[in-house]
Amino acid sequence: MTSGNREPRNIVLGVSGGIACYKAVELVRLLVRDGFTVQVIMTREALEFVTPLTFQTISGRSVATETFSLTQESEIGHINLADQADLLVIAPATANIIGKIATGIADDLLTTVIMATRAQVLIAPSMNVHMYENPILQGNISKLKGLGYHFMEPVEGYLACGYEGRGRLPEPQDIVEEIHGLVKKKDLVGERLLITAGPNREPLDPIRYIGNRSSGKMGYALARIGVRRGAEVTLISGPTSLRPPQGVRLISVLTAAEMRQAVLKEFSAATAVLMAAAVADYHPEKLLPKKIKRGRDPIQLRLKPNPDILREVGMRKNGQILIGFAAETEALVANAKKKLHEKNLDLIVANNVTEEGSGFDVDTNVATILDRKGGVHSLPLMSKEELADRIYDYLLALKNSTSS
Ligand code: C5P
């Protein structure tokens, strides 16, 4: 099975001299966390803002600064730096460095490496709003875009120079997402994924609701990885504290009834449906118009069952691949197998929520994937993003086996 996880992992990060240099430190931290090797190159001006020691400590590699340093050249070498990069990122990129790249100037280590590399280049400008709007800079950006350089637009907001406007470096997390998108294999292009995530809230009175412990992390990881691999993603989400992944179409819902309505509306346009939501199985029979007052006597709640959304989709499916999730506390494989057949699914991802590193509100999962042919694939502990990759690998394998 091919893993969508085996992706280019070597980033060369060029840091030029802008106040947003401090954000580049966080960018390196996040990239290292995600398993990238990051080689930092700093321009002379960048050295005025942050010391190389900071980048060296975070990246775990010595920082390259000088073209003509004998030790650096023998240890890292500018052509070597250019060749080893799977992706060259310049963040923050000043007007000066963009001007130099656009006119072919290679007068320091970073510009020399940019000139010599055959890797993709991502440039994240950051500067004063008037500098950014200057037609000379805009002309340089257009020229470079025409040559295939990738750009991230600066964002609007307060600028260190005291101005408000477009010029801020995008948040490091967003730059990381862009990087993942550029290095990732785009093997889900053409897929329209419908993903559900998070819990439901079933209101009891104007103040209270019945909910569950789902954080939404698995569904959001599926959405994020789906976008990275080139799919169009619609995410139907119950209430979570998570930031919606870039590039997804988000539909926010509260109750299971709202989720059902949204899924039934969207599912015919989808090529695959992944139901990672912890759909509420019951809702209070009556929604009380006023707050239930505290009293001394026990009170009783009558709950009515909610429709099983996935089962309904399973009955109506028309070519879509259906993937369900089973959170179990016992007899994992047997229960999951039963759901796979009862709900007419193509795959089911089962996890024992009592196991360490698996289940609610953690970033990892220990899952077993079951298919209709009786295949039972037990996976080791991995991040929810890695698991999302594995699920898509199985989805693609399933598509290939049915089309061949
Ligand atoms: O709750 P259960 O373990 O049956 O959930 C298995 C799968 O069915 C999950 O993918 C869940 O999102 C989906 N489900 C649903 N509607 C329900 C209950 C569960 O779509 N009412």
Is ligand 1 within 6 A of the CB of residue 218? no
- Relative to the CA of 278, which ligand 1 atom is closest? 12
Instruction: Domain 192-403: state its class.
Output: alpha beta
Is the predicted pLDDT of residue 75 greater than 90, yes or no? Answer: no
Instruction: Read off the pLDDT band of 72 (50, 70, 90).
Output: low
- Kindly state if the Cβ of 219 falls inside 6 Å of ligand 1: no
Instruction: Tell me which residues are annotated as active site.
Output: 161
pLDDT at 3 over 50: no
Does the beta carbon of 279 sit less than 6 angstroms from any atom of ligand 1? yes
Residues 114 and 101: beta-carbon distance below 8 Å: yes
Please check whether the two domains, 10-183 and 192-403, share a CATH topology: yes
Indicate if ligand 1 lies below 6 Å from the C-beta of 281.
yes
**263 CA closest ligand 1 atom index:** 20
pTM of this structure: 0.87
Q: Omega before 298 cis (within 30°)?
A: no
- Residue 401 pLDDT class (50, 70, 90 cuts): confident
Hey, where are the domains in the chain? 10-183, 192-403
Closest CA to 189 of 403, 396, 397: 396
pLDDT at res. 161? 79
The yes/no answer on whether domain 10-183 falls in CATH 3.40.50.920 is no
Residue-wise pLDDT tens digits, 318-342: 999 999 999 888 899 999 999 999 9
Residue 354: how many other CB atoms lie within 10 Å: 12
Q: What is the mean pLDDT of residues 153-175?
A: 90
Q: Tell me 373's DSSP state.
A: T
Question: Do strands 367-371 and 347-352 pair parallel, antiparallel, or not at all (unpaired)?
Answer: antiparallel
Query: Nearest 5°: phi and psi at 288?
Result: -80, 135
What does the pLDDT average to over 145-150? 96
Q: Which residue has the tokens 């118009």?
A: 289
206-250 per-position pLDDT tens digit = 999 999 999 999 999 999 999 999 999 999 999 999 999 989 999
CA 325 to centroid of ligand 1, rounded, Å: 7
The average confidence (pLDDT) of the chain is 93
